[in-house]
Amino acid sequence: MKIGSKSLAGAVAGAALLGAVSVIPAHAAEGWFESHIDSWRVQNESRRWWDNNDTWDYTGIYFAGCEADGGDGFRFADLRLWKVVDGAPDRDKGNERNYCGWVDYGDPNSRGNYYFELTDVSSGSFLSVDYVKVAW
């Protein structure tokens, strides 16, 4: 049966997708990007992304493979989410401590451009992260 083989392929693809989602928590369906961080200091900023506010998904930032140059190595990075506001100060959407995993900021519930800023790193002055995923 052709339909049978098609649905089997669908089931296999679904299983593979579930496997991937279990590694990186299933945050945010509206959009996402992957990146890395190379020797950031406090006040460095991420690229901007557009949140069209089509969904209620939380905005989340995922880190894996974190390094800091201080004697204690990496313990945490504080990340502030900002919404770009033209012609006025950008809007502070919250500061969260990332221990090299997920942090989320709730649903900003507001269409626009966003970015995050490194506000503190422990320990040392420089932060590098092998894998960064931002989802919203």
Residue ranges binding Ca ion (CB under 5 A)? 53, 107
Q: Is the CB of 18 or the CB of 29 nearer to Ca ion?
A: 29
Nearer to Ca ion among residue 8 and residue 29 (C-beta): 29
Q: Which of residues 30 and 69 has its CB atom nearest to Ca ion in the complex?
A: 30
Smallest distance, Å, CB 107 to Ca ion?
Answer: 4
**Cα separation of 97 and 113, whole Å?**
22
CB of 109 to Ca ion, least distance (A): 5
> How many Å apart are CA 13 and CA 89, to the nearest integer?
45
Beta carbon of residue 136, minimum distance to Ca ion (angstroms, whole number): 7
Using the minimum distance from each CB to Ca ion, give the nearer residue, 54 or 120.
54
Amino acid sitting at position 116: F
Burial 11-24 (b: 16+ CB within 10 A, else e): eeeeeeeeeeeeeb
Please give the residue whose beta carbon sits closest to Ca ion in the complex: 53
The distance of closest approach from Cβ of residue 17 to Ca ion in the complex, given in angstroms and rounded to an integer, is 23
CA 50 vs CA 43, 108, 134: distances in Å: 21, 12, 12
